[in-house]
Every structure is written in C-alpha cells, then in structure tokens.
Chain A
Amino acid sequence: MAVNSAATHRAIEAVWRIESAKVVACVARMVRDVGVAEELAQDALVAALEHWPEHGVPDNPGAWLMTTAKNRALDRLRQDVLHARKREELGRDLDAQEAHLVPDFVDALDAAREDDIGDDLLRLVFTACHPVLSTDARVALTLRLLGGLTTDEIARAFLVPEPTIAQRIVRAKRTLTAAKVPFEVPRADARAVRLASVLEVIYLIFNEGYSATAGDDWMRPALCEEALRLGRVLAGLVPDESEVHGLVALMEIQASRIHARVDAQGRPVLLLDQDRSRWDLLLIRRGFAALERAQALGGATGPYALQAALAACHARAHTPEQTDWAQIVALYDVLAQVRPSPVVELNRAVAVGMAFGPAAALEIVDVLAADAALANYHWLPSVRGDLLAKLGRKDEARAEFERAAAMTRNARERELLLERARGGTG
C-alpha cells in the first residue's frame, strides 16, 4: 500500500459505515448467502483501502464499493457454475442467473429497480434477525451487517472479549447457511411474528446502551444512537407498520432523557427526580411525531406505541406535578390487556397510587405479592413500602423497605432503601 494518510482511512471508514449495509444486502441477493455477501463486501472494502489512498477517494464512493463488490460476486458465481455445484440453487434466482449469463443485463436491471436497494436492505434486516438465531447472535449480526460496526466495537459495547463476538458472528452466519434461510422478506402470514423479532432486537440494542450503568462510556451512548438510527431506517423501509413508528417514538422519547438519567457523580436519577431542563426537545418532538404516525396508522394499542404514549405523558409534563396520572393509568389499563405481565401491573399500581391515592394502589400490589414471578423483584416490596408509608403504616413500611434492600444488587439503591427503612424520605 502506498503512503496512506490517516485522514483517507478515516474517510473510507465513514463511507463504509454509510454504504456497507446496502452493499452487503445487494450482494446477498445475488449470492443468496449473507456470510458470503459480507466476505465479498469486505473484499471491496480492502480494495478501497488499497486504491483510494493512492488514487484519491472517487466521486461516488458508494457506487465504487457497490460495483466492486458486485463484480466479486459475479466472479464468485461464475466459479460456482464452473464447479456446477450451485447450478440448482442459481436456478432459483432468475436475477442471479441472468447476471451470470449477461453481466450487462444485471446493470440495466438494477438501474430500472434502483429502489430495490430498500427491498434488499429489508431482506437483510429480516435475515439478521431470523428466529433460527439466538437473541445474542441476532443482536451481534444486526450491528455487524446493518450497523457496519466492527467486531471490536460490538465487543466494547457489550463488555465481552472481541473473539467472543467474532465467533458469535461466524457461528450465526453458519447457522443461517446450514438452515438454508432464504434471503427474503417473510410472506404475509409470517410477517408479523418476524417483524416482532426485528423490533425486539432493535429495542434490545437500545436498552443495552440505555439501562446499563457500567461499561465503556464511549460505546454505550453509541448503542442507543445506533438502535435509534436502525429504527428510523426500518421506519423508512416499512412505513405502513405502525409498531415500527411506535418503537421509534419510544426510543426517541427515552433517548431525550439520556443526559438527565445520571447525576454529576454518575448515579442513576429516577424519572420524577430528573432535571427536565436537560431533556432533549428535538428528540421529544421527533418522538411525538413518530407516535402520531403510529396512531394515525391505527396502531395506538400496539405494545410499543402504548409504551411510547406513556413516555410521552411524562415528556409533556413541564414539572412532575403536571403529570397526567389518570391518562397514564388509562394507558397501563390497555397495556395490561395487550401485553399482560406482573411488571406492567406493578407499574400500573404505581400510576393508580399517583392518580387515585395509595389505598387503591395497595389493593393491586397485594394481589401481585402472591405472584411467584415477582418473588425476587425488589421493586415490589419497594413500591409496597412506599404505599404503606403514605398510609401511615410505618412498621409495615419499614419491613418492606428492608426486604427490598436485601433483594437489590445495586449498592446505591440498597443505601436509599435502608434510609427509607430508617424513616428518612429516601
């Protein structure tokens, strides 16, 4: 390689970040294997790293990468035909076959269907989030193929050694090949379930960055931003799916609070104690817009849209006192029907307590106390203690706070709970 300036390398890296998903997706349509497609796309990147520092970054770097990768794919397909092993598989795909027979034809075809990049990307999204893969594998593969993140970056974000992620991705690609997962958008009957898997993966990535208090400070916010970006991309790919907009709305509004969620010492700050002037107004506004879109598409009762609507209730209140708790209770009522869970029920109880007083909330919590699913959930005794304290039942409250303190693994939280047990306001 010629004298390569660091600046050119960083420029190539940036182009790669922008273009890699499209390149992998397009090549995967040709070769019908995301593992092979990623290899070929990587080859194109290597070629760029060799050529660009010497000859300069081309005017249209995306097209350069795409063409280079496609040519590698055509070479690959030719070899495969020579070996005659993939003949049958090729037959399944007219585009790929014709690409082989008449290389010019595929260009004409691509020009005519430029917008199909979107279709290819969507296929890539569904493939990376395919249910044959473990959740961890889906997350890693999505960040790798759609985010263009390096294995090192993914490893830093998830606080695991780099070889672990590298291996996870290799295995995931093998699993897809072995299971003969078709590179396609699922048909109507499977689409809802498969889309749910995609949304789950994106929200997992978001939460990994959002909820952890430990870890690489640089990569954690990056995970939130990447999940948000993926959500926005997906919303563009399937604009009629209300839950995608619901998820985007939820992430935009939650992300608006990122800077208010920890205090100067890095300790977590609860929603009602947050300095609302630190909330990001632009993200809140974008969240509201996405939520409106979800609702306009008839998706107001989707689980993500409901959670977004709940987040929006808080975002609308300039002060904690202005929170519309009755509306929050109403939303939790619906969520409890759509997606019943003890945790949702507990949150509903908290909202009922704020809206209608501690006695009404305690009734709900007492029913939950019998639920085995929450036996180790420290928020239950914590909430119960709070309600009892508000009702003036001090001894019972103390016992609950002590129980909660014994259950939490977070030292800071334990401290707060013990303080409350001692009768402080906590």
Chain B
Amino acid sequence: MRFMIMVKATAMSESGAMPEESLMAVMGAYHEELAKAGVLLDATGLQPSSKGWRIQYSQGQRRVIDGPFAETKELLAGYTLIQVRSREEAMEWARRFPAPFGEHADGEIEVRQLFELDDFEPGPSVDRFRELDAARR
C-alpha cells in the first residue's frame, strides 16, 4: 500500500527562500533511510504558490486565478511517496519525518493513503480515467 506524506506550506516556504543547508542534510538523510529500506517511491519539493495558479469551477464556469494564495496552511510545500506493508509501518516512517522547516520552526505534515485503481468498482468512468492515464505515458 502506498502513502503520501505531505508537507504543508509555511510563510517561509511560500517566500521561496531555499531551506538551510542543515535542514537539507536532515531531509536528505531521512530520504536516504527510506531508500535504503526500499520503501521510497518518489519525493519532491514544490515551488511557492506565487508561481502556480488555481482554476475555480462554479456554476458551470471556470475561472483561472493566479497565485500566490493567502491561506498558507492549505498549501503544499512538498511530498514523499512511500510503499509499505501496513498502515502502522507508514505511521512509523511518518513519526520519523524530520520537522519540515527545522527543529524549532513550526510545521505540519499530513499523511494520506493512496487509492489504488482496484479500490474502485469497475465502471465506464473508471475505464475512462485509465485511458487518460495511459495517454499520459
């Protein structure tokens, strides 16, 4: 089963400032542990929302809104994707996740389990989604 460890954004991550060397080292060591244990699938940091945009859907209309966005805590600053054997194992790895912005800075991570396509009942819309998935390749 796969889990995504999501790092919530902060004012610092939203400012676009690069993390300090020491934090990079701690994060690097943690991800190296994940890789050594054979559970790391993917990980990356995200650029600030000022470089992104949103599309809002409302009453049949869609509207593009450029970043940055104010409600920092709802934004993501990065994610780590792991494949583990149980929910508890994901919990244990998450417990070991370094404080994302340094030991003394506030931060928050959130862990969510991924749906596998097999979790859905077969149906035309799921098949359609798979086709889109394949087209992306």
Cβ of B72 under 8 Å from chain A = no
Question: Across the interface, do B88 and A225 meet the contact criterion of CB distance under 8 Å?
Answer: no
Cβ of B43 under 8 Å from chain A = no
Query: Provided the pairs A232-B38, A318-B134 are in contact, do residues A11 and B91 lie with their beta carbons within 8 angstroms?
Result: yes
Q: Which chain A residues border B85 with CB–CB below 8 Å? A: 17, 222, 225-226
Q: Which chain B residues border A236 with CB–CB below 8 Å? A: 35-36, 38
Segment with Cβ contacts to B, from A207-215, A276-284, A345-353, A405-413: A276-284
Cα–Cα, bound, A229→B137 (Å): 24
Query: Provided the pairs A264-B122, A281-B136, A281-B137 are in contact, do residues A14 and B92 lie with their beta carbons within 8 angstroms?
Result: yes
Cα–Cα, bound, A18→B40 (Å): 13
Instruction: Point out the residue from A118, A226, A233, A276 that lies within 8 Å of B134, measured CB to CB.
Output: A276
Query: Provided the pairs A229-B39, A232-B35, A284-B137 are in contact, do residues A277 and B88 lie with their beta carbons within 8 angstroms?
Result: no
Closest Cβ of chain B to A65, distance in Å, is 12
- Digit string of A242-277 for contact with B (CB within 8 Å is 1, else 0)? 000000000000000001000010000000000111
Q: Which chain B residues border A228 with CB–CB below 8 Å? A: 38
Question: Across the interface, do B91 and A14 meet the contact criterion of CB distance under 8 Å?
Answer: yes
Q: Which chain B residues border A18 with CB–CB below 8 Å? A: 37, 89, 92-93
Question: Across the interface, do B36 and A118 meet the contact criterion of CB distance under 8 Å?
Answer: yes
Cα–Cα, bound, A127→B38 (Å): 20
Cα–Cα, bound, A275→B134 (Å): 9
Cα–Cα, bound, A14→B91 (Å): 9
Q: Which chain B residues border A230 with CB–CB below 8 Å? A: 38
7 intermolecular pairs with C-beta atoms under 8 Å apart: A14-B88, A18-B37, A231-B38, A259-B116, A276-B134, A281-B137, A282-B81
Closest Cβ of chain A to B116, distance in Å, is 8
Cβ of A15 under 8 Å from chain B = yes
- Among residues of B, the one whose C-beta sits closest to the C-beta of A279 is B134
Most chain A Cβ neighbours within 10 Å, of B37, B91, B122: B37
Cα–Cα, bound, A282→B83 (Å): 12
Cβ of B106 under 8 Å from chain A = no
Cα–Cα, bound, A100→B94 (Å): 36
Cβ of A10 under 8 Å from chain B = yes
Question: Across the interface, do A277 and B134 meet the contact criterion of CB distance under 8 Å?
Answer: yes
Closest Cβ of chain A to B103, distance in Å, is 14
Q: Considering the complex, which residues of chain B in the window 114-137 have a beta carbon less than 8 Å from any beta carbon of chain A? A: 116-118, 122, 127, 130-131, 133-137
Cβ of A13 under 8 Å from chain B = yes
Q: Which chain A residues border B66 with CB–CB below 8 Å? A: none
Question: Across the interface, do B134 and A286 meet the contact criterion of CB distance under 8 Å?
Answer: no
Question: Across the interface, do B38 and A233 meet the contact criterion of CB distance under 8 Å?
Answer: yes
Question: Across the interface, do A14 and B86 meet the contact criterion of CB distance under 8 Å?
Answer: yes
Q: Which residues of B contact A (CB under 8 A)?
A: 35-39, 41-42, 81, 83, 85-86, 88-89, 91-93, 116-118, 122, 127, 130-131, 133-137
Sample of 20 more A-B contacts, CB < 8 Å, known A14-B88, A17-B85, A282-B81: A11-B88, A15-B92, A17-B86, A17-B89, A18-B37, A225-B83, A226-B85, A228-B38, A229-B37, A231-B38, A233-B36, A236-B35, A275-B130, A276-B134, A277-B133, A279-B137, A281-B133, A286-B41, A318-B134, A318-B135
- Among residues of B, the one whose C-beta sits closest to the C-beta of A222 is B85
- Digit string of A301-328 for contact with B (CB within 8 Å is 1, else 0)? 0000000000000000010000000000
- Among residues of A, the one whose C-beta sits closest to the C-beta of B135 is A318
Closest 3 CB pairs of A and B: A277-B130, A14-B88, A229-B38
Closest Cβ of chain B to A186, distance in Å, is 21
Question: Across the interface, do A278 and B122 meet the contact criterion of CB distance under 8 Å?
Answer: no
Question: Across the interface, do B117 and A278 meet the contact criterion of CB distance under 8 Å?
Answer: yes
Cα–Cα, bound, A153→B133 (Å): 34
Question: Across the interface, do A259 and B133 meet the contact criterion of CB distance under 8 Å?
Answer: no
- Digit string of A344-383 for contact with B (CB within 8 Å is 1, else 0)? 0000000000000000000000000000000000000000
Query: Provided the pairs A277-B133, A284-B137, A318-B137 are in contact, do residues A10 and B41 lie with their beta carbons within 8 angstroms?
Result: no
